[in-house]
Chain A
Amino acid sequence: MSRVIARRLLRGKYIASLIFLACLSMAAALWIGPYFTSTRPDYASVAAPVGVNEDTMFLVKPKGTACINKVTIPHNLGRLSLQPFPASTKLGPPLVIEVTARNYAAGTTLPGGYPGGVATLPLTPPTHTEIGMVCVHDIGDAPVDLRGNNEPRGVTRSELVVEGKHLPGVIALVFYKQNDEPLIDELPEVAERAGVLLGGVPAGLVLALAVCCAIGIPLLVLLVLHSTAE
């Protein structure tokens, strides 16, 4: 009896199916699993990225201000990141960043004396996601360059005003979540984001479709392989 079962299992179609499943399981264990479970810095939203080919700087004079409007201020933010560089001295001046919306106002300070680069600062989130304005005030005695973006592929809906003048481009500004999370914990939120960009498709439906793809594609291929091997 056991010999009959063994002979059946050794038939080509079972061997082929086993190889197929073994390959997928190995990839899931070595590659896909760690990818989903390792933590990473999580974007809450990206108001504007830095440029790809051009390094654009926007100069803010001492006591001057740069503002960008129509910025999404997500309810789950924990940190704000921008890229200030000292414009005339070795170390950068202190900056105050004000974030305001209809039902929200918060601020954070970057102390002076930084060499320039990415500055990530804590920020209190709003209760609900808001669309508002972010202003950077140079409260020191030296000018500061804010890295930004003026490439056609970097244009966002936000408008930049420096010292009261509208300028083309936008300063690079990113909101991160409070804590870094593994991708697997973020999946419902990713589905919600995809649903929004599909015009308001419910996150549950997007997630269900994603699960169907992740399970359905291998299953379909396995069925085709199994039936062909017969």
Chain B
Amino acid sequence: MQGPDEVNHFAVLQYFAENGSLASPTLGTHPYSTELETFLNDLNLRELGNPSARPAWTKADLSLYNRQARKLPPGAGGNGEGPNAIAKNPPLYYVLMSGPYKLFSFLPLPGRILALRLISGLSLIATIVLVWLIAGEIFGDRIRQTVASAAVALQPKLANICTTINADALLVSLCACGLLLLVRIVNHGPARGRVAAAATVAAAATLTQGRGVVLVPALVLAVAIAHIKHKRPLRETALSSLVGLSILGFAAAMYLAFGRPTGTSALYGGQVSALNNNPFNIKQFLSVTFQFYFGHLPPLHQFGPSYGYRQVFIETFYGSFGPLLVNFSQHVYLALQIASGVGLLALYTYCVIDRRRLLQRWNITVLISGYALLFFAFLHYVSYQSLLNTKGAEPLITGRYLLPAIPLFGLAIAYVVGRLPRSVRLPATALLLAVGTLLTLVGLGTSVETYYV
């Protein structure tokens, strides 16, 4: 159980699969089921947040655990009613994963967890395929499709998250799917089927994790772009929008009726109201966001910890596996920061050079930049509100929160590589893929070393 909050995600999933309802984020006396407690306790898995700890890894430990597990009474898997903070999440991931949980319920708990992780891993494959398709819609050539999807496939944090039990795994693939459908809407027009599909995916993302909400305004933007670009009659676009709205409304109604965890009546287990109970100060928000990217500047008041671009976009985006304790060396992070900086500069330069071409394809340009803007603005808004709520203690933004925008990462790299002079394009691609391969293998190795050596 090395993934971030993986124990808690599994506990919510297990409770749902065993009882058909969500655990409570605030009530109860058993955050985990007796079965899960026994597993964590007997194999010393609770202490893995400590980098000096190691699990109980001998066959004698496994025998001890197996003896205890055999003694468990019936129903020992279903009594983890809470409190569990992860139960604030909407239910879709847990509902979907409860099927495989039931299917593999004949396996002992470690086997069940392994099976669920493998199924969660399908979201990685789905995301890679979806990025390939998005790049195909946007660029239309194979080398850039390959670069975009390979950049995503070899992003070590994505592989790490997608192979643990975590709602983020599903959210990432839903966001990639949503972006593909939005690109198709702006490319081919706001047909009812396309809008309905995009609205369904947006609803699914919203019902998976709060950060999925960003697909809803992105859908509105895409429909507006497509309406202008394809000069469709207003009635036709309105009908498509109505279909999309109905789907989103139906999903919201289902969530309100069945999807809220026990013991709460508020949206997202009270997170929405908790995050918005402070007055929004635009000047302070801009100051906090500016300092996030550019560091503390003396005339501006520093609000919150020294935590910004480097920690979120470099350290916890490329690395920091497990409970944020498994890291690449600082030299690797520095190299990644420099490479990312050079890449961003190249992207900006080529965008300026290509401004006419980008304007010709304004539908795609506005959609992609609008999606990026909405996504990052939403993350910063939530982070700012969390800082207000916790008196500057908890910025609530980390690298894995960026993963729903991973297609943008792949597309940006592919765009830059595609614009390089022909003679260096292939060598640059080879270098990029070699670095990605090394990061993936070293990331895997470092995780193994932290927990098993």
Contact = CB atoms under 8 A, between A and B. Distances in A.
B146 A157 contact: no
Interface string B41-66: 11111111111111111111110100
B53 A224 contact: no
A47 to B, nearest CB: 8
Contacts of A149: 50
Interface stretch (A87-95, A106-114, A192-200): A192-200
Nearest to A130: B60
Interface string B119-145: 000000000000000000000001100
A151 B429 contact: no
B47 A27 contact: no
Contacts of A24: 434, 437-438
A143 B84 CA distance: 42
Given A23-B438, A194-B452, A129 B47 contact: no
A27 B452 contact: no
B299 interface: no
B386 interface: no
Contacts of B405: none
A20 B154 CA distance: 14
Contacts of A130: 60
Contacts of B53: 46, 48-49, 153-154, 156
Interface string A3-15: 0000000001101
Interface stretch (B215-223, B244-252, B307-315, B440-448): B440-448
A225 interface: yes
B430 interface: yes
How many interface residues does chain A have, given as a range? 35 or more
B429 A225 contact: yes
Contact of B110 (A43, A48, A197): A197
B437 A155 contact: no
Contacts, number: 162
Interface in A206-225: 210, 213-214, 217-218, 221, 224-225
A214 B448 CA distance: 13
Nearest to A44: B58
Interface of A is mostly: helix
A51 interface: yes
A45 B56 contact: yes
Contacts of A46: 44, 52-54
Contacts of B57: 45, 193-194, 196-197
A72 to B, nearest CB: 6
B142 A48 contact: no
A154 B325 CA distance: 14
A129 B63 CA distance: 11
A153 B45 CA distance: 9
Contacts of A193: 55, 57-58, 452
A190 interface: yes
A186 B418 CA distance: 44
A50 B441 contact: no
A1 interface: no
Nearest to B323: A153
Contacts of B55: 193, 197
Given A46-B52, A131-B64, A213-B444, A23 B47 contact: no
Contacts of A129: 58-60
Interface string B314-338: 0000000001000000000000000
A127 interface: no
B286 interface: no
B431 interface: yes
A19 interface: yes
A225 B425 CA distance: 12
Contacts of B42: 157
Given A129-B60, A221-B154, A153 B437 contact: no
A186 to B, nearest CB: 7
Contacts of B426: 12-13, 15-16, 229
Nearest to B52: A49
A74 interface: yes
A72 B58 CA distance: 8
B433 interface: yes
A143 B440 CA distance: 50
B114 interface: yes
Interface in A108-143: 128-131
A221 B437 contact: yes
Contacts of A196: 57-59, 61-62
Nearest to B325: A52
Nearest to B48: A153
A214 B441 contact: yes
A229 to B, nearest CB: 5
A2 interface: no
Interface of B: 41-62, 64, 107-111, 114, 142-143, 146, 150, 154, 323, 426-427, 429-431, 433-438, 440-442, 444-445, 448-449, 451-453
Pick the 3 closest A-B CB pairs, nearest first.
A199-B110, A23-B434, A153-B49
